[in-house]
Amino acid sequence: MNLGVYLKDGLKLYNTLTRTIQPFRPINAGRVKLYTCGPTVYNYAHIGNLRTYIFEDVLRRTLEYFGYSVKHVMNITDVGHLTSDADTGEDKLEVGAKREGTDAWSVSKKYTQAFLEDIESLNIKEPHVLCYATKHIQEQIDLVSDLEKKGFTYRTSDGLYFDTSKLSDYGKLARLDVKGLKAGSRVDIREKKNKTDFALWKFSQEPGKRDMEWDSPWGTGFPGWHIECSAMAMKYFGDHFDIHTGGVDHIAVHHTNEIAQTEAATGKTPWVNYWIHGEFLILDSGRMGKSKGNFIALNSLRKKGYTPLDYRYFCLTAHYRNPLSFSWDSLNGAKNSVSRLNEIVIMIKEDLGTDYESILERTRTQPEKKYLMSFENKLANDLDLPEGLAVMWTALRDESLSSGEKYRLVLKFDEILGLGVKAFGVEEKLTKDLSDLIKRRDQYRVAGNWVKADEIRGKIHERGYDVRDTPKGTVVKKRR
């Protein structure tokens, strides 16, 4: 294992469970089990959701960078997530089906596909296991049966519930003041015994009417939202694993309830050693919601001329534990930085000549080591990417570094940044029409016929490419 090439101390991460930055120690040396809560696939992911997946991708890349072998599991919530966290309201998938005049299964398929395309375009590594709640119904029924046998459940007219008063440490992740909640409770808790109790299995109000429902020992219905993550994480990772993540909104309810039901079933604590949460992306108009009007998806950015990687860069400029305010101006700033990075990398490649990849074989020089050490230490300090980016820009502006040193450094940094630096300036195969135009333009340039050369520049431009003159001839680059 290569615990950081030049790292002074090991990796440190902020653990919501302890509210401190702790040294990271996996349960099995060199291996990390990482479970990240995935999307509820009833609509496109909004850019707030995507911020969380980018943070989780940086976390996974960091673990891999420091030599850990990571197994990454992510769930797809395609049933059971209701419009209210209080276990009331409609199933979001059924809402999506009504909205689109189709059924919940088609909605799930459509938006899972859209999600996979989104993460690919953001250079987010695909999880090793993508598990669907609807494909793990038996596992969920088995877990609920186990909880029932152990006396943690009770029945109401609309479902089977978990009795949170049976656990002495319920709410430890969020540090909930359970007694205070009881005393101050004026909200209608319907037939629930405690305000914090939650549904494990919900009954179909009219069996046969829902698109998604299953038989169970308690009646026809569907699983509660929280039980899917417990059942699937336990299936793939067992009763003790390393890291579980999600957005900060999951701390008080979803993750709190996952811990409650899993630890009640296994009788062991802690289930997960490190709980890591990403802060929200916020808009001037407040919290972004898939069900609200202020919904921005990746396509909304594309329509305004921004690429997914501009957005990825934008997210990297803020620490994952700080809220990030979205504005078109700041996204524009990110776009400019990505364009600048593009230009610098292309200049470096031109300077290195055609076999620029061979430079990667050489041993690292002292100045490179200095920059790498600095970058790694920022990264290891609870993923301080804003500082990591600052190290990258300082290195790229450092005139004492050669192009080879810069190229090797930026590629190494990009293992974490995920901006696809290697492909910068490398065009996909040009069409014959385009290469003919470039050839003709070169001939005119050599002949000093600038008028004709400019005319052809215009034609190349019309085909979506920018033209640059270099000592080696015309170089075209697809406009971003």
d(CA 258, CA 244): 11
Burial class (CB in 10 A: 0-12, 13-18, 19+), 253: middle
Shortest Å, Cβ 254 to Zn ion: 5
* CB 456 within 8 Å of CB 441: yes
Residue 11 interacts with, from ligand AMP, Zn ion, none (CB under 5-8 Å by kind): none
User: Which positions from 18 through 37 interact with ligand AMP, judged by CB under 6 A?
Assistant: 37
Shortest Å, Cβ 345 to ligand AMP: 30
159 contributes a contact to ligand AMP by CB under 6 A: no
d(CA 3, CA 359): 24
d(CA 221, CA 233): 22
Q: Which amino acid is at 252?
A: A
Shortest Å, Cβ 331 to ligand AMP: 15
Taking CB under 6 A as the binding criterion, the range among 151-159, 199-207, 280-288, 350-358 that sits at the site for ligand AMP is: 280-288
Q: Which is nearer to ligand AMP, 168 or 285 (CB)?
A: 285
Per CB under 6 A, the list member of 224, 246, 418, 425 interacting with ligand AMP is 246
d(CA 83, CA 368): 52
Which residues in 303-346 belong to E strands, given as ranges? 324-325
Per CB under 6 A, the list member of 26, 48, 127, 418 interacting with ligand AMP is 48
Number of residues that bind ligand AMP (CB under 6 A): 16
d(CA 80, CA 228): 9
Residue 49 interacts with, from Zn ion, ligand AMP, none (CB under 5-8 Å by kind): ligand AMP
User: Which positions from 57 through 116 interact with ligand AMP, judged by CB under 6 A?
Assistant: 77
Q: Which is nearer to Zn ion, 261 or 474 (CB)?
A: 261
203 forms beta bridges with 221
Q: Which is nearer to ligand AMP, 39 or 425 (CB)?
A: 39
Residue 229 interacts with, from Zn ion, ligand AMP, none (CB under 5-8 Å by kind): Zn ion
Structure tokens at 224: 């509660």
312 contributes a contact to ligand AMP by CB under 6 A: no
Q: Which is nearer to ligand AMP, 28 or 113 (CB)?
A: 113
List interacting residues with Zn ion (CB under 5 A). Answer: 37, 229
Q: Which is nearer to ligand AMP, 220 or 330 (CB)?
A: 330
Shortest Å, Cβ 38 to ligand AMP: 7
Residue 145 interacts with, from Zn ion, ligand AMP, none (CB under 5-8 Å by kind): none
Q: Which is nearer to Zn ion, 37 or 416 (CB)?
A: 37
d(CA 454, CA 115): 43
* CB 381 within 8 Å of CB 418: no
Q: Which is nearer to ligand AMP, 255 or 406 (CB)?
A: 255
Closest CA to 48 of 254, 258, 224, 291: 291
Q: Which is nearer to ligand AMP, 77 or 273 (CB)?
A: 77
* CB 136 within 8 Å of CB 79: no
Taking CB under 6 A as the binding criterion, the range among 47-55, 116-124, 163-171, 419-427 that sits at the site for ligand AMP is: 47-55
Tell me whether strands 324-325 and 281-283 are parallel, antiparallel or unpaired: parallel
d(CA 307, CA 379): 25
308 contributes a contact to ligand AMP by CB under 6 A: no
Structure tokens at 89: 């309201």
DSSP assignment of 122-153 equals: TTPPPPSEEEEGGG-HHHHHHHHHHHHHTT-E
Q: Which is nearer to ligand AMP, 152 or 320 (CB)?
A: 320
d(CA 73, CA 228): 13
Taking CB under 6 A as the binding criterion, the range among 244-252, 340-348, 398-406, 423-431 that sits at the site for ligand AMP is: 244-252
Q: Torsion angle of alpha carbons 231, 234, 235, 236, nearest 10°?
A: 130
Instruction: Supply φ then ψ for residue 425, to 5 degrees.
Output: 80, -5
Closest residue to ligand AMP, judged by C-beta, is: 247
Residue ranges in contact with ligand AMP by CB under 6 A: 37, 39-40, 48-49, 51-52, 77, 246-247, 249-250, 280-281, 287-288
